[in-house]
Amino acid sequence: MRVPRNRQKAFLASQPKRSRKQPFPITLSTWRRILSRNTDEFCRNTTIHGLKYINNSKLRNSDRFFFGIALLVVLSLAVYLIQDAFDKWNTNPVIVGIDPELTSIANEPFPAVTICNLNQALTERVEHFTNDSVEFAMLQLLCRRKVDVDLVKSNDSRWEEFILNISQPCKSMIIQCRFGADDYECARLFHPIVTDEGLCCVFNMLHPRFMYRKRVPYSHRNISLPEGFHAVNWHAELGYRKRGFQPDGDNPLYPRRAQGTGESLGLSLTLDVQADAYYCSSSSSVGFKIALHSPNESPNVRETGVLLAPGMETKLRIDPSKILTEKHLRNVDRRSRRCLFHNELKLRWFAHYTQRNCVAECLSGWLIRHCGCVTFYMPRLNANDTICPLHKRECVELIRFRTIIAMESCLDECLPSCFDLTFTAIAYSTRISHDGFRETSSHGGWNFTDSYVERSVAVVNMYFKDPTFRANKQTEFIGFSDFLSGVGGLMGLFLGFSFLSIAECVYFALIRPCRTCSEIRQLNQPRVHQMNLKKMATPGNIRYISAANWFQAELAHQQPNNRQHFNPA
């Protein structure tokens, strides 16, 4: 007999909604059968080599074992080579090569030139010092002589003012200046600066308002440039920034650019050492020290300066060297690329980051921590930093010259600049011709004797040899695309693996099993309802039909000319 439709509706309405929508449970054995079937089909159809032989039940077990061992060996070798490629990509991401484009010296500044007289004091300015005065003790330190601190009555010392008062001024040290075929007043072109060699004179260094972040050193205050010069904030990474005026024309930029090649367009100087006024020398000779450095870098004359002898004409051929770095290397860790961009580390005293500036600040920090003070030529990191008194000399010398840990720590913290410009000089010297110098001195208004020229006068000419030079460029040694290509080549060579293989794994391991489970639930849902309807029927001789036949019977019942009924058993 057929179950009346009204009884079906009443039974379904009486069932709780949760029980009607409850999904058909999938047992663990069902999951195993699904995964086994998908794994078998994956091994037969995948592009990965060897799996179809291992999964083939028609082969002997020994053959399948052979292919299994071969797969493990090949997989191990591929993993080893991929690990090696990853180590190269992770630990050596940068390689230094030659920039394919030539760099013109017209786009770069002329090097900053720092000149120091080896004489630390003029005799006429220090001969009145008594042996027990602070000034005398300070003078002995400048002359690198032993000092008896117990004899000093006071420790009040103002080093920069003291050095400026006893040293030879720039206007008497540099008596003739010629740059780019133009003559200049030396006192306006060179400015005093206190360094580890005492009082020096510097040309083409950044203006103090761009060079320092905090207080300007005493020797750099009230600096005036030659008329028409416009100071700009030059940096090796950023270059010159145009300010709306024609550069190097009627309004030349400062730091000055290179004007051309050869001695005629370089920097020519005539120097007067005043050997007769020598009190003491910072070395064992009489003459000058000269250092070439980047305009945004503090000079290191004592350690890297080149000697200029009086009575000699010296030619310094400038050899520029520049480091460039690709911009996208900013994404690489700084410890891996081993360099810093200009805005990645801000210094406390200097406004521009260079390794030399950073090391100077780092050593100042070591002196402050261990000695409680800094030397007169080192950066003042804090507003209340004091100059080391005379009795702290041993502590200062210990940190500066005998503590390798301090220097190693500073070099580890102060990485090289990713964009850097350096200069080296090749020196050639010969004796000054008296006749030629007399003709030159007549135009300069000097009246030097031949003996005075031999003892005190030096001539130096600095110039570029070539109009262009090759810069070094840091690029990616192994980029991400190169690393991916290498890994893909190894996986394809050893296993036949590709990105499409990943899609196959996802499909057979995740998408297809989930879809199979969903289909099983949908097919078994009508059976649940049929079993509930069976419970409603009279427990007589009833023939039970499947869910599909039941639905066909229902459709036939709705057609008036073709009705079918359930037949009793």
Q: Backbone phi, then psi, for 246, in 5-degree steps?
A: -70, 115
Beta strands per DSSP E along 450-521? 457-464, 468-476
pLDDT at 390: 79
State the chain's mean pLDDT as an integer: 79
Query: What's the rounded Cα separation, in Å, for the pair 418 and 340?
Result: 5
pLDDT at 549: 59
pLDDT band with cut points at 50, 70 and 90 for residue 564: very low
pLDDT band with cut points at 50, 70 and 90 for residue 537: very low
Question: Alpha helix (H) ranges present in 257-332?
Answer: 301-304
Q: Which long-range contacts (CB under 8 A, 24 or more apart) does 328-331 make?
A: 328/476, 329/93, 329/94, 329/418, 329/474, 329/475, 329/476
Query: What's the rounded Cα separation, in Å, for the pair 456 and 274?
Result: 5
Q: Backbone phi, then psi, for 526, in 5-degree steps?
A: -60, -30
In this predicted structure, the answer to whether residue 127 has a pLDDT above a threshold of 80 is yes
In this predicted structure, the answer to whether residue 316 has a pLDDT above a threshold of 90 is yes
Question: Phi/psi class of residue 372: alpha, beta or left (left: φ > 0; alpha: ψ in -120 to 50)?
Answer: left
In contact, 206 and 233? CB cutoff 8 Å: yes
For the chain, domains (ranges, CATH) are 98-240+250-331+423-476 (2.60.470.10)
Q: Supply the DSSP string of 374-419, one letter for each residue.
A: B-TTS---STT--B--GGGHHHHHHHHHS-HHHHHHHHHHSPPBSS
Q: Tens digit of pLDDT for each residue in 35-87?
A: 777 777 777 777 777 777 777 777 788 877 888 888 888 888 888 888 887 77
In this predicted structure, the answer to whether residue 318 has a pLDDT above a threshold of 90 is yes
Q: Beta 191-195 vs 198-203: how paired, if at all?
A: antiparallel
pLDDT at 64: 79
Q: Tens digit of pLDDT for each residue in 387-437?
A: 888 788 888 888 877 667 777 888 888 999 999 999 999 999 999 887 766
Q: Tens digit of pLDDT for each residue in 243-282?
A: 444 445 556 888 999 889 999 999 999 999 999 999 988 8
In contact, 116 and 199? CB cutoff 8 Å: yes
Q: Tens digit of pLDDT for each residue in 96-109?
A: 788 889 999 999 99
Q: Tens digit of pLDDT for each residue in 149-190?
A: 666 655 556 788 888 899 999 999 999 999 988 888 888 889
Average pLDDT over residues 368-383: 87
Report pTM.
Answer: 0.72
Residue 490: what residue type? L
Q: Tens digit of pLDDT for each residue in 457-509?
A: 999 999 999 999 999 998 877 766 777 777 777 777 777 777 777 777 777 77
Average pLDDT over residues 307-324: 93
pLDDT at 460: 95
pLDDT at 6: 54
Query: What's the rounded Cα separation, in Å, for the pair 275 and 308?
Result: 13
Residue with tokens 């009246």: 447
Q: How far is CA 205 from CA 179, 189, 293, 483, in A?
A: 15, 10, 9, 44
In contact, 426 and 316? CB cutoff 8 Å: yes
Give the three-class secondary structure for 112.
Answer: strand
Query: What does the block give as tokens for 421?
Result: 């410009």
Average pLDDT over residues 295-314: 91
